[in-house]
Amino acid sequence: MTPPAAESESTPASELAPTARALRPVERLVGCYLALSVATLVAVFLLRDHADLVDDAVWTRTVIVVASAALTRAFTVGAARGSRRAFLRLRVVTAVMTVAVAVVVALPGLFPVWLRVEQSVCGLLLLGVVLVVNGRDVRALFRSR
């Protein structure tokens, strides 16, 4: 039996369900968001002895971001399979996280510059997701029937 992720990678877009086809860009953006978030947590671990680069706030922020990225990935998978609840959760989580990232980036001195740059990239990835999932065509796929 082929795992679902492997099937979607090998299945031509024309044979995918409309929701999966419409959310393919979202899956890519969220995959990048998750990968970057995990890589940042690894960097925080490796830099843990450098107090000027990593403090308790950095640890807390990166753990929260990895958890939210994992949830976002789960919601994306559910929405691609046609789940309206997962789609709603995806819309809410990405909007909230985009605002949270904007605050982190905008407030001076809250986090080191390197983390603010990383969060800026995460914010751009999430903004892309927000724009796609709130688009008229994608929302129409999840309207109640």
Q: Decide if 52 contacts 41 (C-beta within 8 A).
A: no
Q: Decide if 37 contacts 69 (C-beta within 8 A).
A: yes
88-133 pLDDT, tens digit per residue, is 999 999 999 999 999 999 998 889 999 999 999 999 999 999 999 9
CB within 8 Å of 8: residues ≥ 6 apart: 16, 20, 80
- Largest Cα–Cα distance in the chain? 55
Looking at residue 10, its amino acid is S
pTM of this structure: 0.85
Phi, psi for 81 (deg, rounded to 5)? -85, 0
The pLDDT assigned to 145 comes to 47
29-87 pLDDT, tens digit per residue, is 999 999 999 999 999 999 999 999 999 999 999 999 999 999 999 999 999 999 999 99
DSSP code per residue over 117-130 = HHHHHHHHHHHHHH
The 8-class DSSP code of residue 2 comes to -
Check pLDDT > 80 for residue 2.
no
Closest CA to 92 of 73, 119, 72, 62: 72
